[in-house]
Every structure is written in C-alpha cells, then in structure tokens.
A and B are shown apart, each in its own frame.
Chain A
Amino acid sequence: MSGLFDKKIFDDLRASREKWEQELKKAFDARPERLERFATVSDQEIERIYTPEQVRELDFQRDIGFPGQFPFTRGCQPSMYRGRLWTMRMFAGLGTAKDTNERFHHLVKAGQTGLSTAFDMPTLMGYDSDSPKARGECGKCGVAIDTLVDMEDLFEGLPIDRITTSMTINPPASVIWAMYIAVAENRGIDRRIIGGTIQNDMLKEFIAQKTFMCPPEPSVRVITDTVEFGTREVPRWNTISISGYHIREAGSTAVQELAFTLADGIAYTQAAVDRGLDVDDFAPRFSFFFNSHLDFFEEIAKFRAARRMWAKIMKERFSAKNPRSWWLRFHTQTAGCSLTAQQPYNNVVRTALEALAAVLGGTQSLHTNSLDEVLAIPTEEAATIALRTQQIIAEESGVGNTIDPLGGSFFVEALTNRMEEEAFEIIHKIDDMGGMLAAIERHYPQQEIADAAYHYQRQIDEGKRTVVGVNKYVTEEEIPVEVLEIDEELEKIQIEKTNRIKNERDQVRVRECLEQVGGACSGGGNVMEPVIAAVKAHATLQEVCDVYRRVFGEYRDPGIY
C-alpha cells in the first residue's frame, strides 16, 4: 500500500478548513453564492473545494499508478501522447459511394490518419436502396451500400492495406465487414493484414440508438460469430466497438453511459467465453467508444474511471491474464447533442472543449463534430475546421506534453472515484437482473435513460441550466451557415446501379450462397465465411439480412417513453 496522505495532516487540514469556512460565510453574507446548486451536466452535485479530505484513502499505486500499468487510470500505453498522438478520425459519409470516396481522399490529403464511414439509414437497417422502406432516405445521412460494387467504389484508390477503417454499422455489421474483407481479397490483400473497426454493438442499439433488426439474443450470437472469426482470421480487426456514445446522445447521464457501456462489454465477453473462446485471445480486440460532453472534469473523470473499471472487470471477473485484455482502448466523439442550431459558430468552441476533455482523458482516437452537424450533413469547410480543432489541441496547446496532467488533482481523483463507485452500483443491479439481456428485456436501461433525458430537458426549459444562445444570450439575428444539400436524384441513380448488378450476376450462385448463410444461421455454424462468399457473388446487403430476419425473427420497438 502506498497511501498518499499522512493521517496527521488531516488535523491541520480541519483547522484550516474551519477558518476558510468562516471567511467564506462572511463573503456569502455580503454577496450570496452565484447559484443555489452547483452540479455537472449529469446533475452530480459538486462541492466548493476539493482537498485531501475527499480522497483520504487514495492510494497512488492502487488507484492512480503509471500509464501502461494496472489499473491503467492514467492510460493504456506507457508512452501515451509522448509516443504517438491520438488518431484523428473524422466520420464521413454521404450520398453515393463515389461521393464519399472523394471526401475520403480529401480527408487523407488534409492529414487525417484513419478513415471512418457513416452509412445511410437503409444500409444501417439492412435494407437495399430499392426497398419501399428506404424511400426518401437513400444517401441522406451517410453512404448507401447495397452490393460489393458500392464497397469497391467507396475505397477506390485508398491504401486499405496501410490505412485503418472504422465502420459505424450494427445490425448488418457482419455483412458490411464481409464486403470489406472481399474488397481487400479481390485486390490481393490478405485478410490477416487489414485493420479497422466495425461498431457491431447491438446491445446499445436496443438501449439507445434503436437501429435494430433481429431480437437481442440472436443479435449477440451473430456478434459472437464475428468475434470468433476475427480472432481466428482477421487478427488486426477490432470486432466490436462497445459504445456509450449513443447512450449519452439518447440522454443518459455520464455515470449511466459508463455503467451501461461496461455492462454491455461484460455481456459480449461472457458470450464469447461461453462460446469456448479464451478471453485473452479476443478481449484485446475489443475497443470502446465514448461521448465527450460539455462538463469538462466530469468527462475526464469518466474516461479515467472507465479504464480502471474495465481493467478490474477483466482481471477479476474474467481472470484475463494478458495485460492487453485489461486495456480499455477507446474512440471518442464530441457530443452531437450539445451543439445548438442557434448561433452555430459557438459550436466550434463547444467542440474544442469537449475534444480537450477527451485528450486529457487519454483517448486513442477522436472525431470532432462540425459546427453545422445540428443543421445537416457537414460541409467540407465545417469538417475541416473540426479537424483543425484537433490539430491545434495536439500541436499548439501543449496538453500532450505530459501524460495524464490532471492525475492527482483532488477534484479529478474524487470525481473519478465517485463515478466508478456509482457505475459499479448500476452494473451490480444489472447483474442481479440476470445480465444486460435480461435488463434490456425489462426495459431497465431504456427507462433510466428516458427519465434522465426528460429531466435534463426540463432543466434547460426552466432555465436551471444555461445553454448559450438558446436560453441565455439569445440574439435575434440569424447567422447564415452554408448547408450541404443531398441531390434528390441520387436515390434513382443508386437504385439503377443496384438493379443493374442484380441483373448481371450469377443468380444460381447467389441463391446457393444465401442458402448456405441460412444454414449457418439455423445450424449454429459461424456465419462469416458463407456471408463473405455471398457478397463476393454480389448478393445484396438486404438479401443477406433478409436471411437473418427470416431465421432469427424481427425485433420491434417496445416503445419506452
């Protein structure tokens, strides 16, 4: 044990505190405190000052330690940003695959070090562009992918053997991943070489983002297939990005984001262990994805607590031995829900603060939102400012000069402890319900988030919480912002392309391949090889997903409000 404080100092401290409090009282008698209550964005009350008293039991080795060492409070890698900066990974996707490909080339030229793909709603839900359900949505909030040809166009001319690609895709993740593997293999690149991430986190979809296809249990089963396949065949791929981002966007508090995300991680780990995989074989490929909201210190504490909690969970609960299994590596995106349509240029400042919190929290990669995100799909100019924001933090501000600069702050350590404690309480509650699947079935996380979101909105409306430009410092004049328009013709062009491919392919081969996929689904074999074969034969995304829907059933919104 290496406690930080000599017990004797607390007596002196109490005397000083009493003196300070008397003076404080005088000050407040003359002019009362600015607010009735000081609280974080998540409504956690914050004290006037933090001293060793709030972190009395803090033990340097046990609780803080060194980066790269258990419990990793200060970072996973020993070198952190002294070695390599975080990956600046900007999410992009719009219109057709060709349009997005152009944006990718632009971003790589601008100095971006990893690609990140946004798909349109039909793709995210496993529908082709010609489905009646896709009417009006093609290419609207991301790129439309129906067939392998779209995927080939998307990565045309990009060095996918050297660059890593992150793909935000969930219910059809196995199919999109199969297409990416097929693109690589058709170019003669070994699947063992390619690197990247598929989000592939269905639990948070049921909890928060509501992009769902099949019921929770078979969804987790297909995810486990991808984990198993990745471990064996695509060792550089992160098969799940366990995401708190959407949980937070749906209105949760920081602690709920932390707790539900780690509880999801526990569920995936348990499912893979139950499959017979060795935890140390797959856990190092799990990555996380968090939100960085506006409450600066709360966010930093959240990231630090997350690393420490996951290390403990992996070591103690799953008996992982490989230190890499203990690592919680994470991507961060600044909070879309914190941006305002009013006075949109203020969003640049919000995003900068949120990005700074993510960096001080030790993120591995970062997406900074564009100032116009709340209005529409970002323009190129807005996306560039967002990237520049990261570059200024990285190369001008000096915050990366030392590792975990806030470690040891009484406030940050106290907040880190408190978040860990409260999040573990929620995780235990979920354990008592029988795990995350059971909790979701009981609508526990859904209801908690709905309540938190409503509470937050009410506080803004009642003026208890300030949002600059929305409920305070409101200006009448509108600042015009250029907005990117998606061509309405695009839907027609994409549907024609998909129909052409469908007409020209070997129909018998497609049918055989889809039958194999169905067989793997119902028989319990791993779906990945059959899906790769099917997409290579130009089976469409929806055709494969329809097989999933037929075998596993469809999940419908239970409607929690």
Chain B
Amino acid sequence: MNDLVENVVKGDIRAVARLIRDIDDGIPGVREALKALYPHTGKAYVLGITGSPGVGKSTLVDQMVSHLRRKEKTVGVLAVDPTSPFSGGAILGDRVRMQRHSLDEGVFIRSMATRGHFGGLTQSTRSAIDVLDAMGKDYIIVETVGVGQDEVDVVKSAHTTVIVVIPGMGDDIQAIKAGILEVGDIFVINKADREGSDKTLSDLRLMIDMDQKKYEDGGWKPPIVKAQAVFDKGVEEVLEEVEKHRAYLLETQGEIDFRRSPKRVREELMDLVKNRVIEEVLGKLTETGDFDAAVEAIARGEKDPYSACDELVLPRLEIH
C-alpha cells in the first residue's frame, strides 16, 4: 500500500487508477492509503458540474479541459454515471465526449458508477478527489447527473459548483428551486441557440434575485452564462466566472483551503463517522445473525422492535 501511495503522489497513472478502483470497490486497506495520502491533498481546485441528462455536461467539461490545458493547467475529471437499478451494471459513456484528451498526460479521466457504494457515492467521490488532488492535478472536475440528494452532496464537495440547464426545461428550473439552488455558484444555459433561452434566463434570474438580502450582506450572487458548448461558445466565460468565484472564496475565507474550513470539515467528518458506525455495527450484526434472529422474534410476536433495537445496538456501542 505504501508503494501505491508514493506512486500516486509521483503522479503514476496506474497507481492512481488502482487506488480509485480500491476506493470504488471498498477494499479495506484503502483507509490506510487515504490516511497516508491526506497530507498531500488540499492543493487542487475542485469544480462540480451537474444538471439533468442531455444538457451537455460532458461536452462542456470536455471544452473546459481544453481551455484549462491551453493555460497549461493539469486536469483530473471524475465522470459519474448512474448504475442501472435493474442489473447493477452501468454504461459509463461520458468519456466518449472527452476521449480526445486521453493521450494528453496532463489530463486524467475516470468514470464512476453510482452503484451502492458503502458509505454512499459522496464518500467515494470525495476520496477519489483526494487521490487526483494528491497526484498533483491543478483542477479537478466532478461531473454528476443532478437528480438525487447523493449527487447534490457530491458537488457540495467542490469549491465551485456549476449547474447546467438548457432552454425549454421549465421543470428543471422548478427542481433547482426545490433542491439545488443553494449549491449553484454558476448557472450555465447550454444550447443557448435554442428557442426559449431568454425565458430560461429570466426564470433563473428571478429565482436568484429572491435571495437579494444575502447578496447585500456580501454573499456570492451566482452569475448566469449562456453557452453552446458544442461550438465552444461561452466556455471561456464560464471559466472566467469560476476564477471570480475562486477570488471571492479567497477574499471571504482567506488563504486557508476551503475544503478544510471548519464547516466543510465538520460535514465530511460527520459523514465519515456515520458511515463507519454503520459499517462497524451493522456489519457485525448481520455477520453474527443477531439481526435475523431479532427479525424472527418480532415476526413471531415475541418482541417489540424498539426493545430489539436497544438490545442489538447498545451493547455494541458500549453505551449503557
């Protein structure tokens, strides 16, 4: 494992690929590797890109990679695609649109499925970000399909989150309002040549303006950029807004790494602890058969679920 970590830090592609695989597959030794890796993290700038299927996220990411490369920045990409609920398999197709960068040594692209990660997708993605960060990438772009809470949590690990919409998707705006508005730092209206892009613009603006008070207090006001990623239009503007947001974060939070701000650390540590507790306690319960026994006892009417829960959990937590 130590070799692995050393080689990740040196930027060895195979080591990086394998460590992300270990994270993905939940290999127990990975925890030690992540511990060793942690001191090498905190340098990369993390971008989250989310939006509904078909809005052109991968194309936008592909173009952003090109622009960043022209500025001689190195880039890591994590492209998350949904796992099929029927088979547990997945087709990870985002890479298709980025494949032209595959021979560029300054770019590392990795596809991940949303499959039942132990501890959730969020945890795995955060760890994978750490790996790309430790390997020395300047920028890390995480692309997810913005549908579930899980995906929203993923982009919350980013410094700057970009939400992509296309014209004529009124439902999308509603969904953003309901769920992910507060995580959006930049909004992109992609395929802006399509009918209805002005309407989408005014809808978004209206929504953003509702938080007027927050901006008056010095809060970040999300800009809206019109783009046609396929034709490389508006992509530079998106990156300019990213840099502005980065400057804003620096100004308001100082030099300390954003990902290590107490708020963020609290969230991440809480997730880790939660997952670990679940893993340790639940894992043992199912292994020993105590859980199944309790289920049967409740089903036979010999026990109530509340007492069963106490009996299962309290001794293992050593809380009395």
Contact = CB atoms under 8 A, between A and B. Distances in A.
A556 B100 contact: yes
Interface stretch (B20-28, B31-39, B89-97, B209-217): B89-97
A265 to B, nearest CB: 25
Interface in A404-453: 434, 441-443
A558 interface: yes
A561 interface: yes
17 contacts: A215-B230, A434-B195, A441-B230, A442-B54, A443-B54, A553-B231, A556-B97, A556-B99, A556-B100, A557-B96, A558-B96, A558-B97, A559-B93, A559-B96, A559-B97, A561-B91, A561-B93
B145 to A, nearest CB: 15
The list of the 9 closest CB pairs from A to B, nearest first, reads A559-B96, A559-B93, A561-B91, A561-B93, A557-B96, A559-B97, A558-B97, A556-B100, A558-B96
A530 B99 CA distance: 35
Interface of B: 54, 91, 93, 96-97, 99-100, 195, 230-231
A130 B134 CA distance: 42
Interface residues of A, number: 11
B222 to A, nearest CB: 27
Contacts of B93: 559, 561
Given A434-B195, A556-B97, 8 more contacts: A215-B230, A443-B54, A556-B99, A556-B100, A558-B97, A559-B96, A561-B91, A561-B93
A189 to B, nearest CB: 42
Contacts of B54: 442-443
Interface in A106-150: none
A557 B195 CA distance: 25
Contacts of B91: 561
B199 to A, nearest CB: 16
Contacts of A559: 93, 96-97
Which one of B54, B100, B230 has the greatest number of beta carbons of chain A within 10 Å?
A: B230
Contacts of B99: 556
Contacts of A556: 97, 99-100
A191 to B, nearest CB: 36
A444 B54 CA distance: 11
A503 to B, nearest CB: 31
Interface string A524-561: 00000000000000000000000000000100111101
A531 B97 CA distance: 32
Interface of A: 215, 434, 441-443, 553, 556-559, 561
Contacts of B231: 553
Nearest to B62: A556
From DSSP, what is the main secondary structure of chain B's interface residues? helix
Which one of A441, A557, A559 has the greatest number of beta carbons of chain B within 10 Å?
A: A559
Contacts of B97: 556, 558-559
A2 to B, nearest CB: 45
A377 B93 CA distance: 32
Nearest to B93: A559
A443 B58 CA distance: 15
A215 B100 CA distance: 16
B167 to A, nearest CB: 12
A442 B194 CA distance: 11
Which one of A215, A441, A553, A556 has the greatest number of beta carbons of chain B within 10 Å?
A: A556
Contacts of A553: 231
A494 B99 CA distance: 30
Contacts of A561: 91, 93
Nearest to A557: B96
A248 B315 CA distance: 66
B84 to A, nearest CB: 12
Nearest to B195: A434
Nearest to B91: A561
A556 B97 CA distance: 8
A556 B91 CA distance: 19
Nearest to A442: B54
A440 to B, nearest CB: 12
A88 B114 CA distance: 54
A553 B233 CA distance: 13
A287 B91 CA distance: 39
A215 B231 CA distance: 10
A557 B58 CA distance: 12
Contacts of B100: 556
Contacts of B96: 557-559
A557 B95 CA distance: 11
Contacts of A557: 96
A130 B99 CA distance: 23
Contacts of A434: 195
A553 B231 CA distance: 9
Which one of A215, A443, A553, A558 has the greatest number of beta carbons of chain B within 10 Å?
A: A558
A442 B99 CA distance: 20
Nearest to A553: B231
Nearest to A559: B96
A441 B230 CA distance: 10
A549 to B, nearest CB: 14
A441 B97 CA distance: 14
A215 B59 CA distance: 14
Contacts of A558: 96-97
B227 to A, nearest CB: 15
Contacts of B195: 434
Nearest to A560: B93
A38 to B, nearest CB: 29
Contacts of A441: 230
A521 B97 CA distance: 27
A441 B91 CA distance: 21
A543 B278 CA distance: 63
A312 to B, nearest CB: 28
A558 B97 CA distance: 6
A343 to B, nearest CB: 33
A215 B96 CA distance: 16
Nearest to B96: A559
A445 to B, nearest CB: 15
A443 B97 CA distance: 14
A234 B264 CA distance: 70
Contacts of A442: 54
A559 B97 CA distance: 7
A238 B174 CA distance: 51
A202 to B, nearest CB: 16
A442 B231 CA distance: 15
B73 to A, nearest CB: 22
A379 B93 CA distance: 39
A434 B91 CA distance: 30
A556 B232 CA distance: 13
Contacts of A443: 54
A550 to B, nearest CB: 15
